[in-house]
Amino acid sequence: MFLGALMRYLVLALAAWAFTAAAHAQQPPSPTPTPQTAPIPESLQRNIDRLQAAALESDLAWEIVEGLVTDIGPRMAGSEAEAAARDWAVARLRALGFQNVRIEPFTIPFWQAVREEAHIISPGARPLVAAALGGSPSADVTAEIARFTSMAALEAAPESAVRGRIVFIDERMARNQDGSGYGPAVRKRGQCAPVAQAKGAVGCVIRSVGTDPHRFAHQGGASRQAAGVSLPAMAISPADADVLQRLSARGPVRMRLLIEADARDNAPSGNVIAEIRGRERPDEIVLLAAHLDSWDHGQGAVDDGAGVAIISAAARLIRDLPQRPRRTIRILLAGAEENGLHGDRLCGRASP
């Protein structure tokens, strides 16, 4: 029902865009930008009602995401699993009746952690649930932590408070229905290592991005750290961050970070493209995009298997209408999004 409701909103938005673009194309340019609302013709409203009903009744979106995470699973950018996902997507999109289904290949810098561990050494030795952040180098460091409640606090700290220590950014993500807390929360993911290294730290640990209290470490990061940055960086689960917070309030805490990473250049990746060719203006394109790759601690079901499923199923509903849309609807299942938006930037460069 969740996927069906999202599909409903997507097909409504597509239908409204198609009509609004056509209506505005027929009107002379206005000297002042005045918002205009055009009535929806009965024929278009019938299509909207049909799409809405079909979206709520269809299980296709669920079948797509269930197949992706079951048949393929985690899909690290540049990995054999991501390649298998591209082949899987091509076969699925062809079976759904889309046109011009193809792979646009490109290469990327590859990174994957093959070992990632974090431990409290003292007081009370114990392992933590941790994930190496994308681009982190191989390292094995043990040091006392320096806890900061935000990136701003780290940036304002003197070198004497950081040098020789493992920085711990204990910044919580704001819980908002619109997800607006995510952007500020991920800043520490990319900025902790360069800022901490400049102040002489030997490692960086962040509270996982997210608002849940679970013992699961949230991954993320680019395929390479910024030039000149070579600091090991990890995210620890919210539950373990709570433990560090309490211990650091009582006295010094020593940690060990252990990362072994496989990093190499020119790994194969690619975008999967499919289309519904427009009947009147095929060179004008409405792009529906999601990304096919994922991190490897989970299955990539939500990020972004659900997106892959929703846009593919919504486009299939439009394809099945009695008349094709005026403009081409293009599906982009981007590769290597998680480690640097590579596929998004390259989309269409090899298109016919």
The residues carrying an active-site annotation are 337
The structure tokens listed for 36 are 């205009």
- In whole angstroms, give the CA distance from residue 249 to residue 342: 42
DSSP 3-state of 212: coil
DSSP 3-state of 148: strand
| Strand duo 130-132 + 281-291: pairing | unpaired
- In whole angstroms, give the CA distance from residue 283 to residue 248: 60
Instruction: Report whether the peptide linkage leading into residue 123 is cis, meaning its omega lies within 30 degrees of zero.
Output: yes
- In whole angstroms, give the CA distance from residue 148 to residue 117: 21
- In whole angstroms, give the CA distance from residue 23 to residue 11: 18
- In whole angstroms, give the CA distance from residue 171 to residue 218: 14
Instruction: Of 127, 239, 143, 133, give the one whose Cα is nearest residue 188.
Output: 133
Report the 10 Å Cβ neighbour count for 288.
21
Residue 167 near residue 144 (C-beta atoms within 8 A): no
**Extended strands (E) in the chain:** 99-122, 126-128, 130-132, 139-148, 166-169, 203-207, 233-236, 254-276, 281-291, 327-334
Residue 38 near residue 342 (C-beta atoms within 8 A): no
Classify the C-alpha dihedral 90-91-97-99 as positive or negative: positive
Report the 10 Å Cβ neighbour count for 325.
22
